[in-house]
Structure formats: structure tokens, C-alpha cells
Amino acid sequence: MDGAIAKAIAKAQEKITFVSRDKKVLRAYQMREMALSDYISGINHARREGEQEGRQKVIQETLLEITKLLKEGKSIEDISRLFNVSDAK
């Protein structure tokens, strides 16, 4: 196992040496790293937005359901039991 790790480290060092000697290759590497970072940031941002939209949708649907139940004459206590909400007194 140690030999495999040593070989991997040596190979990585060779690549670093090669990249650092050629400014065009180094710049291309840096640009690729920045692009990957931007891509990951975009994905994470979209995920957070989607989660927020999902939460807002659940809240809106819950409020609509509560409104419907109130119009049907259900009591606050009945609605609380339906939504498994305890009295906060």
C-alpha cells in the first residue's frame, strides 16, 4: 500500500513540475480549476434556491389547507390535531 501511495505522490509531483514549467499549461490548468469551482458554486446555489422554493410551497399549501378547513367549520383544536401541533400555552 505504501508503494502505491508513493507512486501516486511521485506522479502528482511530476505533473506539478510539468505544469509549473509551461506558463500556457499552467494558465490552462488554472482556468480549468476556476471553471470547475464556478460550476460547483452554481450547482450549490441552485440547490439552495430549490430548497427555499420547496419550503415556500409547503407553507403556502399548508395555509391553503388550513383556510379550507376553517371555512368548513373545523375548530382550531381539530386543525391542530390534524397537523399534529400541540397547544403552545
9-27 exposure pattern, b = at least 16 Cβ within 10 A, e = fewer: eeeeeeeeeeeeeeeeeee
pLDDT tens for each residue of 8-60: 888 888 888 877 788 888 888 889 999 999 999 999 999 999 999 999 999 99
Please state the rounded mean pLDDT for residues 70-89: 85
Q: Which residues lie closer than 8 Å to 18 by C-beta, 6 or more apart? A: 25
Please state the rounded mean pLDDT for residues 54-77: 94
pLDDT tens for each residue of 33-47: 999 999 999 999 999
